[in-house]
């Protein structure tokens, strides 16, 4: 999760350099994003820290395959076939960034990131596993993160998963009905004169088609 100032920021303490100078001169070039250059931290420079990063442990994934983790993932359970296909392709394409440490370090250098805080991949929190096996998997995940941090102690900081979570949980009887989803009903809006102009299908297509401008 990287934070950056808006293009109109003129705070001299933020050291925007060329961009601030261009704004002061009223140049139209000020709206052109300046790509960050890889830099080495010095005693006087501010560190760029990315605090929202994940590591996918391939060996743990192989060990956990016997409990079929995907069947417990809500992003899989409540998705249609197209969404599952897109999600699968994204995970496959981004696997090197999630699991290969030299690739991660090269990407950090390209983006000008000095330090990453690395936590387990979202689908490697095995809370649904039986307690003993869940403990084994969680320890393996934590050991894996400790190992990658040890390789680059000046570039990576680790965050682990709770391995003995079961003893902190008090199990109670569930409600007869849980809200798995919320259905939206618009009859009151229609009674006020509102009319739907864009179908749901067309709206989703427009969102997907225009999503590139938000990247």
97 plus 14 within the same structural domain: no
Residue 78 lies in a domain: yes
Answer whether residue 19 is part of any domain.
yes
Q: Does any domain span residue 90?
A: yes
Residues 63 and 80 reside in one and the same domain: yes
What is the overall mean pLDDT for the chain? 78
Domain-embedded: residue 48 = yes
Q: Are 55 and 142 in contact (CB under 8 A)?
A: no
User: Would you say the pTM of this structure is higher than 0.85?
Assistant: no
Report which of residues 83 and 172 the model is more confident about: 83
Q: So what's the pLDDT on residue 59?
A: 92
Q: Assign 196 to helix, strand or coil.
A: coil
Using the structure block, give the residue that is written with the tokens 């192989």: 62
Strands 49-55 and 115-120: parallel
CATH number of the domain that 64 lies in? 3.20.20.140
Q: What is the pLDDT of residues 72-128, one digit of tens each?
A: 887 788 888 888 888 888 888 888 888 999 999 999 999 999 999 999 988 888 888
Contact between 199 and 163 under an 8 Å Cβ cutoff? The reply is: no
| Residues 134 and 98 placed together within one structural domain of the fold | yes
Residue with tokens 């390209």: 110
27 & 63 share domain: no
Q: How does residue 19 score in pLDDT terms, banded at 50, 70 and 90?
A: very low
Phi/psi of residue 29, each to 5°? Answer: -70, -10
Mean pLDDT in residue range 22-37: 46
Q: Do residue 42 and residue 127 come from a single domain?
A: yes
Model confidence at 20, pLDDT cuts 50, 70, 90, reads: very low
Mean pLDDT value across residues 161-167: 68
DSSP count for the chain of H helices, then E strands: 8, 3
Residue 31: per-residue pLDDT: 42
Domain membership flag for residue 181: no
Q: Into how many domains does the chain fold? A: 2
**Do 62 and 92 sit in the same domain of this protein?**
yes
Q: Quickly tell me which residue has 């350099």 as its tokens.
A: 17
Phi, psi of 53 (to 5 degrees): -135, 155
Mean pLDDT score, 172-201 = 80
Q: Are residues 78 and 7 in the same domain?
A: no
Q: Where are the beta strands (DSSP E) in 56-123?
A: 115-120
- Tokens representing residue 106 in the block: 């090269």
Give the domain range for residue 101: 38-171
Residue 7 has pLDDT above 60, yes or no: no
Contact 112, 39 (CB under 8 A): yes
2 secondary structure, DSSP code: -
Asked if 74 and 80 touch (Cβ cutoff 8 Å), the reply is no
pLDDT category of residue 58 using cuts at 50, 70 and 90: very high
140 in the same domain as 47: yes
Predicted confidence at residue 34, as pLDDT, reads 44
Question: What pLDDT, on the 0 to 100 scale, is given for residue 62?
Answer: 93
The whole-number pLDDT of residue 6 equals 57
In terms of pLDDT, which residue wins out, 182 or 113? Answer: 113
Which pLDDT band holds residue 132 (cuts at 50, 70, 90)? confident
Span 162-187, mean pLDDT? 71
**Claim to verify: residue 162 and residue 122 sit in the same structural domain:** yes
Do residue 98 and residue 14 come from a single domain? no
Query: Contact at 8 Å (CB) between 124 and 140?
Result: no
Determine the straight-line distance between the first and last CA of the chain, rounded to whole angstroms. 13
- The answer to whether residues 74 and 127 belong to one domain is yes
Whether 180 is in a domain gets the answer no
Question: Is pLDDT at 2 greater than 90 in this prediction?
Answer: no
């Amino acid at each position: 999760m990287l934070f950056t100032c808006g293009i109109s920021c003129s705070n001299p303490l933020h050291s925007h350099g060329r961009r601030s100078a261009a704004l002061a001169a009223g140049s139209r070039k000020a709206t052109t994003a300046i790509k960050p250059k890889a830099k080495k931290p010095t005693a006087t420079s501010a560190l760029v820290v990315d605090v929202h990063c994940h590591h996918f442990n391939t060996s743990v994934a192989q060990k956990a395959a016997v409990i079929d983790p995907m069947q417990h993932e809500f992003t899989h359970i409540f998705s249609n076939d197209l969404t599952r296909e897109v999600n699968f392709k994204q995970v496959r394409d981004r696997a090197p960034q999630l699991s290969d440490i030299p690739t991660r370090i090269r990407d950090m250098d390209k983006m000008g990131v000095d330090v990453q805080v690395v936590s387990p991949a979202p689908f490697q929190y095995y809370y649904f596993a039986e307690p003993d096996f869940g403990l084994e998997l969680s320890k393996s995940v934590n050991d894996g993160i400790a190992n990658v941090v040890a390789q680059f102690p000046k570039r990576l900081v680790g965050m682990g998963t709770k391995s003995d979570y079961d003893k902190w949980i008090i199990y109670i009887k569930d409600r007869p009905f849980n809200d798995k989803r919320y259905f939206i009903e618009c009859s009151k809006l229609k009674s006020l004169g509102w009319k739907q102009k864009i179908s749901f299908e067309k709206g989703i297509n427009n969102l997907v088609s225009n999503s590139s401008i938000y990247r």
